[in-house]
Amino acid sequence: MKINPFAPIKELQTALKEKKILRKELLEYCIARFKDYDHKIGSALEIFDKESILSRACAEGVLAGIPGIVKDVIAQKGRCLSCASKILEPFVSPYDATATARLKKDGALLIGRANLDEFAMGSSNETSAFYKVANPWDITRVSGGSSGGSAAAVAAGFVPWSLGSDTGGSVRLPAAFCGVVGIKPTYGLISRCGLVAYASSLDQIGIITRTIYDNALVMSAIAGHDLKDSTTCFVEKKDYTQKLDGSIKKGLRIGVIDNGLQVASMNPEIVAAIEEAVKVLEKLGATIKHFTLSAIEYSAATYFIISRAEAASNLARYDGVRYGMRVKSAESLTAMYEKTRYDGFGQEVRRRIMIGNYTLSVGHHAEFYGNAKKVQQMIRNELEQTFKEVDLLVMPTHSIPAFKFGTFDDNKLAMDLQDYFTCPANLAGIPAISIPCGFTKDTIPIGFQLIGPSLSEELLYQTAHAYEQQTPWHTMHPKKF
């Protein structure tokens, strides 16, 4: 049987079950895809050898024999865990993250480590200490960040699923840029045990796939309470694919955030694509209501302060003493700390650490971090009130399509504002999914978000799947791969 590189998981499962292909053959095919094409994209930091992959996976499970790749901030036992940073390049994880352990138990084949922005800090995947990640639709453009490697590998047809992490949009933005599906679940639905922390109160492991069904399938394997993570939700393990029948919930109310579509920097092609997506949802039977949310206007600044402050605290542990990189020549212990951190961290990471330390410093803590936490609560309250009037919200994922490499080299603020539409969900701890909804005239993907209240993943998947079944975007793939 000839393997379709863009086949959904369901199709691959059927082929494996009917023995039209063997697990070993599918694995070899995916490994070959990386070897043949990834030099153009840079989505993977490492692809493991076939024997070691097969030896670490169980034989049975929902994802048995299905290869995928994991962002290199999520621990895989016995594998390097670099966070795309020189400071952790030599570090080998002694344990599996809960998410990777559950995937292995379910039979999934973890094929390698996906590239990313260093320590998940970035919106374009240009800050990796090793190499940038290109967009499969146009390799002169970025894949989005920070989970750019995870999104690009799925979009290019190397693997059908991947894991990423989302602190302010790092799963959804690259998913939108690469024309695939990306979800940031409710905070605590997926265990963070084994996820290297960027901003602990905002971080969440997310899933990237080519279809909604595939995304829900992976979610079913890894979601649920974990004794190793006290922030996980007390929810029963469930099958998130059960309600994916092509219909939407009866009486579904969807709110459109008008001031999201009216932002001055919004690309008109993106606005038009989202307006068409809303028409499809209305045709499916949803009632559309229009809202203005002040939360959007304050979210980026609030996220900027909280994430940098928590990053400065979390990354203080990388000092060259216990693990990771250590400079060989230093006049004193303090000099060793300073030189190790300067040489080990890239420019963007150092910039965020410095900003974070400033916001937490004596005389500035209350002014910046303290006030940001108050605004965060206001954002949560406004969204909570909004969900009393509607079931889901529609919002852009991005204001501009995937841009050329180097576009924002001299404008870091503009780069930071790529998270403008995605960070509200992180600040509120609620789920959001990015779905493909069209292309620009240059054939660059466009995505939009559906956002729901806490633990509404089933409804998000049901609605997104119904939309997907009415549109062709999930069937369109880059032609060069």
| Averaged pLDDT, 306-334 | 92
Q: Are the beta carbons of 32 and 476 closer than 8 angstroms? A: no
- pLDDT-derived band at 246 (thresholds 50, 70, 90) equals very high
Query: Which two three-digit tokens encode residue 65?
Result: 């024999």
Three-state SS string across 257-301, please?
EHHHHCCCCCCHHHHHHHHHHHHHHHHCCCEEEEECCCHHHHHHH
The CA–CA distances, whole Å, from 466 to 150, 270, 351, 431, 459 equal 25, 21, 43, 18, 11
Tell me the pLDDT tens digit for each residue of 83-120: 999 999 989 999 999 999 999 999 999 999 999 999 99
Tell me the pLDDT tens digit for each residue of 374-432: 999 999 999 999 999 999 999 999 999 999 999 999 998 888 889 999 999 999 999 99
Q: Is 146 a catalytic residue?
A: yes
Q: Is 191 a catalytic residue?
A: no
User: What pTM value is reported for the model?
Assistant: 0.97
Please state, rounded to an integer, the average pLDDT across all residues of the chain.
96
Amino acid residing at 98 = T
Query: Which two three-digit tokens encode residue 309?
Result: 């402050």
The one catalytic residue in 43, 82, 128, 170 is 170
Q: Is 439 exposed, middle or buried (0-12, 13-18, 19+ CB in 10 A)?
A: middle
| Averaged pLDDT, 22-29 | 95
Q: Are the beta carbons of 217 and 63 closer than 8 angstroms? A: yes
SS3 content of the chain, % helix, strand, coil (to 5): 40, 15, 45
- Say what the pLDDT of residue 480 is: 85
Tell me the pLDDT tens digit for each residue of 159-179: 999 999 999 999 999 999 999
- Within 10 angstroms of residue 1's Cβ, the number of other Cβ atoms is 10
CA distance 230 to 437: 37
Query: Which two three-digit tokens encode residue 395?
Result: 């919002």
154: helix, coil or strand?
helix
The one catalytic residue in 71, 86, 132, 184 is 71
User: Which CATH superfamily includes the segment(s) 9-245+432-475?
Assistant: Amidase signature (AS) domain (3.90.1300.10)
Query: Which two three-digit tokens encode residue 215?
Result: 């995304």
CA distance 160 to 215: 10
CA distance 399 to 344: 33
Contacts (Cβ under 8 Å, ≥6 apart) of 381: none
Q: Is 71 a catalytic residue?
A: yes
- Say what the pLDDT of residue 212 is: 99
Q: Domain ranges for the chain, please list them.
A: 9-245+432-475
First to last CA, the chain: 19
Q: Are the beta carbons of 424 and 118 closer than 8 angstroms? A: no
The one catalytic residue in 85, 93, 124, 146 is 146
Residue 230 pLDDT > 80, yes or no? yes
CA distance 288 to 454: 21
- Say what the pLDDT of residue 389 is: 97
Q: Is 342 exposed, middle or buried (0-12, 13-18, 19+ CB in 10 A)?
A: exposed
- Within 10 angstroms of residue 475's Cβ, the number of other Cβ atoms is 11
Residue 123 pLDDT > 80, yes or no? yes
CA distance 253 to 248: 10
DSSP secondary structure, 411-428, as one string: -HHHHHGGGTTTHHHHHH
